[in-house]
């Protein structure tokens, strides 16, 4: 199986069996994001404790890239300290800016998120992949204001 095929399987798995989709009844922060170009929508809810994302819900509808990215994002940040989460978000969005023929080798720390690197070949879909991260940052930003 080629690396491309492995990545495709990861994305399909998260699309068909999304993680962290269960709504949080009493979230500390939340944000809604939309990508009108593609019709993607995502609702991010979080519970915070001791500066960490104690619980997260990523729920939405849209294309396989946006929905699998939301699931991968939730899996990657659950339980982690906020500064680390913001750093990871920045790293992922950096990766999406690397030209498609450029190497993603320097991004091994992104783990399964690297599966979305192939999206760079379709510039119009990059917003699908980054939507949940931008929405998460909005939710975290909202929290810091209270």
Kindly write out the interface string for residues 67-106 of this chain, putting x where it contacts Zn ion by CB under 5 A and - elsewhere: ----------------------------------------
User: In the beta sheet, which residues pair with residue 44?
Assistant: 31, 58
- Least CB distance to Zn ion at residue 130 (A): 10
Please enumerate in sequence order all residues whose Cβ is within 8 A of that of 76, keeping only pairs 6 or more positions apart, or say none: 88, 110, 111, 112, 113
When asked if residue 137 is in the footprint of Zn ion (CB under 5 A), the reply is: no
Footprint (CB under 5 A) of Zn ion, residues 19-58: 38, 40
Cβ closest to Zn ion, residue 38 vs residue 134: 38
* HEC readout, 17-70: CCCCCCCCCCCCEEEEEEECCCCEEEEEEEEEECCEEEEEEEEEECCHHHHHHH
Q: Report whether 66 contacts 35 (CB < 8 A).
A: yes
Span near Zn ion by CB under 5 A; candidates 7-15, 62-70, 76-84, 134-142: 62-70
Cβ closest to Zn ion, residue 38 vs residue 48: 38
Cβ closest to Zn ion, residue 66 vs residue 71: 66
The site for Zn ion, by CB under 5 A, has a size of 5
- Least CB distance to Zn ion at residue 124 (A): 9
Distance of alpha carbon 138 from alpha carbon 101, whole angstroms? 31
Catalog residues that contact Zn ion under the rule CB under 5 A. 38, 40, 63, 66, 128
């Amino acid at each position: 199986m080629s690396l491309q095929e492995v990545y495709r399987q990861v994305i399909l798995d998260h699309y068909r069996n999304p993680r962290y989709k269960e709504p949080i009844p009493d979230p500390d922060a939340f944000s809604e994001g939309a990508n009108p170009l593609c019709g993607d929508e995502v609702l991010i809810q979080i519970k915070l404790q001791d500066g960490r994302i104690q619980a997260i819900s990523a729920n939405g509808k849209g294309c396989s890239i946006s929905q699998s990215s939301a699931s991968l994002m939730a899996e990657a940040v659950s339980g982690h300290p906020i500064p680390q989460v913001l750093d990871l978000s920045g790293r992922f969005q950096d990766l999406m800016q690397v030209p498609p023929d450029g190497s993603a080798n320097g991004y091994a720390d992104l783990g399964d998120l690297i599966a979305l690197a192939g999206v760079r070949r379709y510039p119009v879909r990059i917003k699908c992949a980054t939507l949940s991260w931008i929405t998460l940052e909005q939710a975290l930003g909202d929290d810091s204001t209270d």
